[in-house]
Amino acid sequence: MKYKHAFAVGNLLMAIGMVLMLGSLGYNLLSHIFPLGLPDILSDASLMGIFIGALVWLAGARIGGRETVAERYWWLRNHDERYRRHDNHRYP
C-alpha cells in the first residue's frame, strides 16, 4: 500500500473509531441517566462499542504511521542522553 493510501485509510479508521467511541459513550451515558425504554442488551453492547472503537482507532493509527512518531519521541525524551532533562545542573 502506498504511503498516501495508507495515510488515508489510517485517518479513515481513526475517524470511524473516534465516532464509534463517542457514540457508544454518549448512548451508554444517556441510557443510564434517562430512562429510554430500550433493552438492556443495547446498553451492554454500547459499552463494548467503546472498546471496539478504541481498537479500530489504534489500528488506524498503526496503519497511518502515527504510532511510531509518538514512540520515537517518548524514547528520545526518556532514554537518550542528549534530550534527557538534568535538573541538577542549575543548582550545584
Tell me the average confidence (pLDDT) per consecutive run of 10 residues in the chain, 92 residues long: 84 94 92 84 89 92 72 69 61 50
Which pLDDT value is given to residue 48? 93
Residue spans per domain, the chain:
1-65
Residues in the chain: 92
The CA distances from residue 87 to 50, 90, 91, in Å, are 40, 6, 8
Cβ atoms of 77 and 18 closer than 8 Å: no
pTM (predicted TM-score): 0.66
